[in-house]
Structure 1
Amino acid sequence: MIKVVITGSNGLLGQSLLNLLLKQKEKYQVFGFSRGENRSGRKDFSYVSIDLTNQKNLKKKLQDIHPDFIINTAAMTLVDVCENQKEACDLLNVSVVKWLSEIADELGVHLIHLSTDFVFDGIKGNYKETDTPNPVSYYGVSKLKSEEVLVNSKINFAILRTILVYGKVFDMSRSNIVLWVKQMLEAGKEITVVNDQYRMPTYVKDLARACKITMDKRATGIYHVSSNKLFSVYEIAQQIAEVFQLDKSLIKPISSSSLNQIGKRPPKTGFDLSKTHKELDFYPRPFKESLQKFKESIT
């Protein structure tokens, strides 16, 4: 049996990973670490209610389990909150990763860590894994620091950077671009969406699959995981409206500068996926196709 600990198991990716790995109960013994009650709606795995920022407790729990893999999906990801609460952001996004890497070193665990396109400044777009990061927000800074912890460690690790993750799981604490656009348009509300930020949205089930492949292949290093085509966020919203057959005219374009966001966003990210294709043999579906799959899964 392969023992896998998923940190942040109540989150969108965390729950999606549970659902995927628990299809092979004969192969994986799964432990979910998250704050508060188990929100996955599943009872067929070991749930550990834990504050990951309690180093001593985290270490003890992991020593008791002695996992083969840790998949770290826990993070503070709200850009403006990170900008305003730098210490809390560093604690969860950097210190926890440092502790996980120390425990992984002690126990010989393979650590898979989730990161973001926000480690880049968004000037050139189409980023390779080897491109030099230059974050423009504190969230991006904290995620880059977490990557550096692993790169400078002696453990077996993989970093999966991803972009604008969407999907739906059992009990969600927060929304995402697809659910938000769908909900607003279904309610007949007009929305404003930026037309000068470019992203490759990632279906959470694709991202979960990429995590599992990384684990099964015991892959190490940095990988980029997203859909394969760059769109403005405004275009993304329009495609959501098309797939769900909602009124596109309710979507109004605006520029980023009119938003006065506390944390700066990179204008144009997007990934070169050739390393992921080659080494992980992973080909995510195009955005429109994934959206269609997502629609089928929730209707």
Structure 2
Amino acid sequence: MIKVVITGSNGLLGQSLLNLLLKEKDKYKVYGFSRGINRSGKEDFNYVSIDITKENDLKENLFNIKPDFIINTAAMTQVDDCETNKEACDLLNVTVVKWLAEVSKEINAQLIHISTDFIFDGKKGYYKETDEANPLSYYGLSKLRSEEVLVKTEIDYTILRTILVYGKVFDMSRNNIVLWVRSMLAEAKEITIVNDQYRMPTYVEDLAMACKISMDKKATGIYNISSNTLLSIYEIAQQIAEVFKLDKSLIKPISTTTLNQRASRPPKTGFDLSKTNKKLEFYPKSFKEDLYRFKETLI
């Protein structure tokens, strides 16, 4: 049995991973770490209610379990909150990763860690894994530092960089762009969407599958995971309206400068997926194709 610890098991990716790994109970013994009660709707795994920002609790539980893999899906991802609460951001996004790496080294576990397109400044788009990082926000900086923690260690690590993750799980504590746009348009509410930021959104099921492939192949290093088509966020909203047969005329384009956000966002990210195709043998689809897949799960 392969023992797997998922940190942040109550989150969107955490719950998606649980659903995926629990299909193969004869292969994986799964442990979920999260705060409060288990919100996944699943009971056939080992749930540990824990605050992973408490070093002793985190390490003690990991040393007791001695997992083969730790998949770290926990992070502070609210970009503007990270800008104003840097201590909390550093603790969860950097220090916890350092602790996970320390345990991984002692018990010889592989650590799979989720990172972001926000480590880049967004001047060019279609970023490769080897491109130079230059984050514009404190969130992006914290995720870059978390990557640097792993690159400097001697452990087996996998960094999966991703973009604008969406999907739906049993108990959602946070919204995402697809659910928000769909819900607003379904209520015939007008929405404003930026037309000068470009992204490749990621279906959470794909990100969960990339985590599983990384385990199964024992793939190490850095990989890009997203859909394969670069779109403006305005175009993303338009495609959501099309797929869900909602009124596109309710979507009004605006520029980023009108938002007055605390943290700067990279104007144009998107990934070069050639390494992911080649090494992981994983071939992400277009956003629209993924949306149709997602829509089927909601029916």
2:188 maps to: 188
Q: Counterparts of 2:263 and 2:215 in 1: how far apart (Å)?
A: 33
Q: Counterparts of 1:111 and 1:296 in 2: how far apart (Å)?
A: 32
2:207 maps to: 207
2:42 maps to: 42
Alpha-carbon shift at residue 286 of structure 1 (Å): 1.3
1:130 maps to: 130
1:13 maps to: 13
Residues 1-23 of structure 1: per-residue CA shift (max 9 Å, x gap): 00000000000000000000000
Q: Counterparts of 1:213 and 1:236 in 2: how far apart (Å)?
A: 27
1:219 maps to: 219
Q: Counterparts of 1:290 and 1:272 in 2: how far apart (Å)?
A: 18
**Secondary structure at 2:99's aligned position in 1?**
helix
2:246 maps to: 246
Does 1:294 pair with 2:297?
no
Residues 189-243 of structure 1: per-residue CA shift (max 9 Å, x gap): 0000000000000000011001100110001000000000100000000000000
2:81 maps to: 81
1:166 maps to: 166
Residues 42-100 of structure 1: per-residue CA shift (max 9 Å, x gap): 10000000000000010000000000000000000000000010000000000000000
**Secondary structure at 2:17's aligned position in 1?**
helix
Q: Counterparts of 1:169 and 1:272 in 2: how far apart (Å)?
A: 28
Residues 132-175 of structure 1: per-residue CA shift (max 9 Å, x gap): 00000000000000000000000000000000000000000000
Does 1:260 pair with 2:263?
no
Residues 173-196 of structure 1: per-residue CA shift (max 9 Å, x gap): 000000000000011100000000
2:177 maps to: 177
Alpha-carbon shift at residue 285 of structure 1 (Å): 2.0
**2:203 is matched by which residue type in structure 1?**
Y
2:272 maps to: 272
Out of 42-51 and 281-290, give the one that drifted further: 281-290
**Secondary structure at 1:184's aligned position in 2?**
helix
Q: Counterparts of 2:172 and 2:263 in 1: how far apart (Å)?
A: 24
Q: Counterparts of 2:64 and 2:259 in 1: how far apart (Å)?
A: 48
**2:207 is matched by which residue type in structure 1?**
L
Query: How does the TM-score come out when normalised to structure 1?
Result: 1.00
Q: Counterparts of 2:175 and 2:266 in 1: how far apart (Å)?
A: 21
**Secondary structure at 2:36's aligned position in 1?**
coil
1:232 maps to: 232
**1:19 is matched by which residue type in structure 2?**
N
- Give unpaired runs (5+ residues) of structure 1: none
Alpha-carbon shift at residue 244 of structure 1 (Å): 0.2
**1:237 is matched by which residue type in structure 2?**
A
Q: Counterparts of 1:104 and 1:38 in 2: how far apart (Å)?
A: 25
**2:295 is matched by which residue type in structure 1?**
K
Residues 264-292 of structure 1: per-residue CA shift (max 9 Å, x gap): 00000000000000000001121111100
Same amino acid, percent of matched pairs: 73
Q: Counterparts of 1:177 and 1:290 in 2: how far apart (Å)?
A: 14
Query: How does the TM-score come out when normalised to structure 2?
Result: 1.00
Q: Counterparts of 1:32 and 1:162 in 2: how far apart (Å)?
A: 21
Q: Counterparts of 2:283 and 2:182 in 1: how far apart (Å)?
A: 26
Q: What RMSD over aligned residues (CA atoms) do the two structures have, in Å?
A: 0.4
1:149 maps to: 149
- Give unpaired runs (5+ residues) of structure 2: none
Q: Counterparts of 1:284 and 1:4 in 2: how far apart (Å)?
A: 24
